[in-house]
Amino acid sequence: MVLPVSYVCRARRLASLLLFLAVSACGAGSHGQLTVGDKNANLTVNFSEKKALEKMEANSFADLGPGVDCASSRSPYYNDIAWIVDRINPALALRTDILPPVHGAQLLDNPPRSDNRIGVYLCSGMSANAYTIYRSVYLSNDFMAKLKTASPAWGGNEAFISALAFVAYHEMGHAALNHSAGKLRVGAQQFDLPQELQADQFAYDAMAAAGIGLNGSEMAKAAGI
């Protein structure tokens, strides 16, 4: 039996809904297939916002506090974070829903970051535990040392690496999902609760994709990420 095309399309849409798959080739308006992480639908940054955010990013070292050293290669956690960054890059390379695009992250000693990359810096002397502005992520060496000290009570080195991954991926979530543009639009000084929850979910998805256990995420939250 040959079904009319419209019937086939309706049936496929119903099946797609039931399977939580947004697959439809039934005409205009198709959004393609969902992949892991796409549920974190992010807002799109327009040209003037991009320029404003890049300017804020260029000035962001001043926001971190006086005398801050962000030469990542001097961090005791450089190798750990380099491994964590490497583990998220294959998943970031697959994201097609982020605009301007994010094709990966890179651990840097100095700006500028490459276009379409998230720059990650490991900093000593930061006042915050972690800080993200647009596509730049700053992680505090002092905070990571605190996590290291706390880790024996949470499962040792495996929990420590998991906690570092949660912190790094949470901040990369703020960066990839354009949360700084959201702040800019409402004049907020901090990310709001929905953004924090979205960044947490991004981190969980990234850790799952990277094959990193979640056992350190609660330690990171308890320590104040």
- For residue 18, the minimal CB distance to Zn ion (Å) is 34
Q: Which is nearer to Zn ion, 107 or 199 (CB)?
A: 199
Residue 225 CB, shortest distance to Zn ion, in Å, is: 7
Sheet of 117-123, strand order: 104-107, 117-123, 136-140, 130-133
Among residues 93, 36, 82, which one has the least CA distance to residue 209? Answer: 36
Separation between Cα atoms, residue 89 and residue 80, nearest integer Å = 15
191 vs 211, which CB is nearer to Zn ion?
A: 191
Q: Is the dihedral of CA 15, 20, 25, 28 positive or negative?
A: positive
Cβ proximity to Zn ion, 28 vs 193, nearer residue:
193
Q: How far is the CB of 176 from Zn ion (least distance, A)?
A: 12
User: Residue 147, class by beta-carbon neighbours within 10 Å (0-12 exposed, 13-18 middle, 19+ buried)?
Assistant: buried
Q: Which is nearer to Zn ion, 86 or 192 (CB)?
A: 192
**Smallest distance from Zn ion to CB 194, Å:** 11
Helix runs in the chain, H state only? 5-18, 47-58, 78-94, 141-150, 157-176, 179-186, 193-210, 217-223
Mode of pairing for the β-strands spanning 130-133 and 136-140: antiparallel
Residue 215: how many other CB atoms lie within 10 Å: 17
Least separation in angstroms between CB 86 and Zn ion:
22
Least spacing, CB of residue 179 vs Zn ion, in Å: 8
User: Which is nearer to Zn ion, 88 or 199 (by Cβ)?
Assistant: 199
* For Zn ion, the closer CB: 53 or 199: 199
Q: Contact residues for Zn ion (CB under 5 A)?
A: 196, 199
H or E element, residue 123: strand 117-123
